Structure 1
Amino acid sequence: MKKISAVLVAALIIGLGAAAADRKPAPAGAAVYIIWPRDGTVIRDGKFWVRMGLSNAGIAPAGIERPNTGHHHLLIDTDLPPLDEEIPNDKNHLHFGAGQTEARIELPPGKHTLQLLFADANHMSFDPPIMSKKITITIPQ
């Protein structure tokens, strides 16, 4: 039994190493940031534009491999996903794989957090991750 366990542990370690190896190095000095809304903004209507900023890297659509490029993902009311896995695509992880730098979104009343995570052509975060500060906005009742 110990021999099988050791083999399983070795396979897991090799598998985790392979996943982490899929992450591309971050472009030097790359940064993402939310231009609007600003942290603490109260938005009277639940529909609003999110404007995404990027410096020292380029935008390319998902699936297009170009050096030092990627695309935005907006994390809503969630923490960072596992960085050695593809970013999920759901209501808390919005993908902007067409290369968008702004988007109109709608949120229900309440406090919400927003954070950008920049990823490569395959929706994998860079190493180290290129992420914005997490901000909080409020949609009144």
Structure 2
Amino acid sequence: MKTFMSRAALAGLLMGVSVLASAATPAPVGASVSIVEPASGAVVDGKFKVKFEVKGIALAPAGDATANTGHHHLLVDAKSIVPAGAAIPVDDNHKHFGKAQTETELELKPGKHTLQLELGDKNHMAFDPPIVSEKITITVK
């Protein structure tokens, strides 16, 4: 009986964790994000400024649980967006702006690159549905 209760408790705990892990923050209706600068097709220096904009949602630092808020993640040469409810990775292709920044200075090697914004919730998780900008292509001199 003790073994059965232990297994039942473990199963309940694991089910609870999986439900929490899969619960994505709902995106506010009409929320959008865009890259204001540079424009798609721009030719930029190796070090250049990127400006972000949001509509229909407020910016807040990571960890802030205020409803209808998020913060920027800049996807650089990323193959795809992060799916709803998934954690936005910390790597060279995903730049985190957890202090609710609205611009950054980026330095990239010469050549063609893609940039795209994706908003994350307080825990760096993608919203449901994901709030993403258009993917733009730039050329670094």
> Aligned-pair distance for 1:84?
3.1
Matched, 1:51 2:51: yes
SS in structure 2 of the partner of residue 49 of structure 1: strand
- Match of 1:64, as an amino acid? D
Partner of 2:97 in structure 1? Answer: 96
SS in structure 1 of the partner of residue 21 of structure 2: helix
SS in structure 2 of the partner of residue 123 of structure 1: coil
> Aligned-pair distance for 1:19?
2.8
RMSD value over aligned CA atoms? Answer: 1.6
Q: Matches of residues 30-45 of structure 1 in structure 2 within 5 Å?
A: 30-43=31-44, 45=45
Identity of aligned residues (%): 53
Q: Matches of residues 24-35 of structure 1 in structure 2 within 5 Å?
A: 24-35=25-36
Partners of 1:18 and 1:93 lie apart in 2 by 24
> Aligned-pair distance for 1:64?
0.9
Is the contact made by 2:73 and 2:94 (CA closer than 8 Å) also made in structure 1?
yes
SS in structure 2 of the partner of residue 130 of structure 1: coil
Report how many residues are paired: 126
SS in structure 1 of the partner of residue 39 of structure 2: coil
Structure 2: state its 5+ residue gaps: 1-13
Normalised by the size of structure 2, how large is the TM-score?
0.84
Partner of 2:61 in structure 1? Answer: 61
- Match of 2:22, as an amino acid? A
Normalised by the size of structure 1, how large is the TM-score?
0.84
Structure 1: state its 5+ residue gaps: 1-10
